[in-house]
Structure 1
Amino acid sequence: MKQLLIVAHAPSPNTRRLAEAALRGAGHEDIEQVRAVWKPPLEAGPEDVLACDGILLGTTENLGYMSGALKDFFDRTYYHVIDDKQGLPCALYIRAGHDGTGTRRAIESIVTGLRWNWAQEPLLCRGEWRDEFIDQVEELGMYLAAGLDAGIL
């Protein structure tokens, strides 16, 4: 059984809906060999990353940057996992009130340093809240888990 770790900051009801959608998508009934777990960034640590086979990151855009909670997660885990988790399949969604480019750029820089592999382009949920964001994040979770399940990631 493979494990998909979802590290998603969810400080509001809508961002919580996004994290739950990622978890729901990863738990799709056709995905049989992947167990998904969601941990808020302040609760996730190096041991969680070392135990996973793929990671889905979720964050809000805060002043053109990732959430402080996700930055804290990276600060606490980076050097503990850098040697053992190179090539880790990863994906990202950003709930951006503006454009999300600064947030994306910062996370891409960290992921590049960790030598993780993008399973797909980061998903930017930009602008005013739209319920379609939920479906997009659910699909992202499902595709990442399905890739792990099929052994292609």
Structure 2
Amino acid sequence: MSPAKTLLIVYHSQSGNTERLARCVAEGASEAEGVSVRCLRAFDAGVDDLARCDGLLLGTPENFGTMSGALKDFFDRTFYPLEGQLTGLPYAVFVSAGNDGTNAVREIGRIANGYGWREVAPACIARGEVTETHLGECRDLGRAMAEGLAMGVF
């Protein structure tokens, strides 16, 4: 039997909206067998957490048209210590957006490209008020990522 895969969820939330999305992502991911799910706030996640994961989901509010400073701080603290070590790591993004969220997704993608990560699902963007539809989409994103890891698709 192969060892369990680890899915890391790293997010920042100030108003609580992105945290609601993160909880749903984690809830969906927890449904997959053979996957350990770790859900950490961006300021609490670090090099060791990222180095030990098999897949990554990143959540952020849209702040001033881009990702939160906390998520950028996570990247700043982990990039150079892990440079060249995470090539091909599957990742996806979820965003709570007051505007359209696309710039936050784009900027995360640019940084992910520097790490050499591989985007495996379109971003889940909750525009405006977080709705049950958004929460369901986040559950689906978490479930799909975890099942993909468990089956060895990613």
What TM-score, normalized to structure 1? 0.95
After TM superposition, list the pairs within 5 Å mapping 1:5-20 onto structure 2. 5-20=8-23
For 2:70, what is the secondary structure of its paired residue? helix
For 1:39, what is the secondary structure of its paired residue? strand
Q: Deviations over 1:98-148 (max 9, x none)?
A: 011221111110011111001111121112332211111111000000000
Determine the structure 2 residue equivalent to 1:138: 139
What TM-score, normalized to structure 2? 0.94
For 2:51, what is the secondary structure of its paired residue? helix
How many residues get paired? 151
Consecutive unaligned residues of structure 1, counting only runs of 5 or more, are none
- Could you tell me how far apart the structure 2 residues matched to 1:114 and 1:42 are? 19
After TM superposition, list the pairs within 5 Å mapping 1:3-152 onto structure 2. 3-28=6-31, 31-152=32-153
- Could you tell me how far apart the structure 2 residues matched to 1:26 and 1:11 are? 23
Identity of aligned residues (%): 43
How much is the aligned-residue C-alpha RMSD, in angstroms?
A: 1.0
For 1:19, what is the secondary structure of its paired residue? helix
- Could you tell me how far apart the structure 1 residues matched to 2:143 and 2:40 are? 17
- Could you tell me how far apart the structure 2 residues matched to 1:133 and 1:141 are? 12
- Could you tell me how far apart the structure 2 residues matched to 1:128 and 1:25 are? 21
Query: 1:32 Cα shift?
Result: 1.4
After the TM superposition, which segments of 4 or more aligned residues of structure 1 sit over 3 Å from their partners? none
